[in-house]
Homo-oligomer: A and B are copies of this chain.
Amino acid sequence: MTVTVAIDGMGGDHGPQVTVRAAREFLRRRDDVRVVLVGIEDRIRPFLAGSDDPRLVVRHAGEVVGMDESPALALRAKKNSSMRVAIDLVGGGEADACVSAGNTGALMAISRFVLKMLPGIDRPAICTVLPTVSGHVHVLDLGANVDCSPEHLLQFAIMGASLAGAIEHKDRPSVGLLNIGEEAIKGNEVVKRAAELLKDSGLNFIGNVEGDGLYKGHAEVVVCDGFVGNVALKASEGLVEMLSAFLRQEFGRNPLTRLAALIALPVLGHFRRRFDPRRYNGASLLGLKGIVVKSHGSADVFSFGHALDRAADAVRAGVLERISLRLARQAGQGPGREDR
Contact = CB atoms under 8 A, between A and B. Distances in A.
A62 interface: no
A243 interface: yes
A178 interface: yes
B211 A234 contact: yes
A132 B187 CA distance: 28
A231 B232 contact: yes
A230 B275 contact: no
A277 to B, nearest CB: 11
Interface stretch (A79-87, A94-102, A213-221, A306-314): A213-221
A146 B239 contact: no
A interface, over-half SS: helix
B270 A250 contact: yes
Nearest to A133: B242
A211 B235 contact: yes
A235 B235 contact: yes
A146 B230 contact: no
Given A146-B188, A261-B264, A247 B271 contact: yes
A240 interface: yes
Interface in A250-266: 250-251, 253, 257, 259-261, 263-264, 266
A234 B222 CA distance: 15
B230 A212 contact: no
A73 interface: no
- What copy number does this chain have within its complex? 2
Classify chain A: how many residues form its interface, as a range.
Answer: 35 or more
B236 A236 contact: yes
Nearest to A218: B238
B216 A238 contact: yes
A261 B263 CA distance: 9
A187 B225 CA distance: 12
A298 to B, nearest CB: 12
B263 A242 contact: no
Nearest to A247: B271
A261 B266 CA distance: 11
Contact of A235 (B188, B232, B242, B247): B232
A311 to B, nearest CB: 24
Interface of A: 131-133, 143, 146-147, 178, 180, 187-189, 191, 210-216, 224, 226-228, 230-243, 245-247, 250-251, 253, 257, 259-261, 263-264, 266-268, 270-271, 274-275
Enumerate the 8 nearest inter-chain pairs by beta-carbon distance, A residue then B residue, closest first: A211-B234, A212-B238, A211-B235, A215-B238, A264-B264, A180-B230, A211-B231, A146-B188
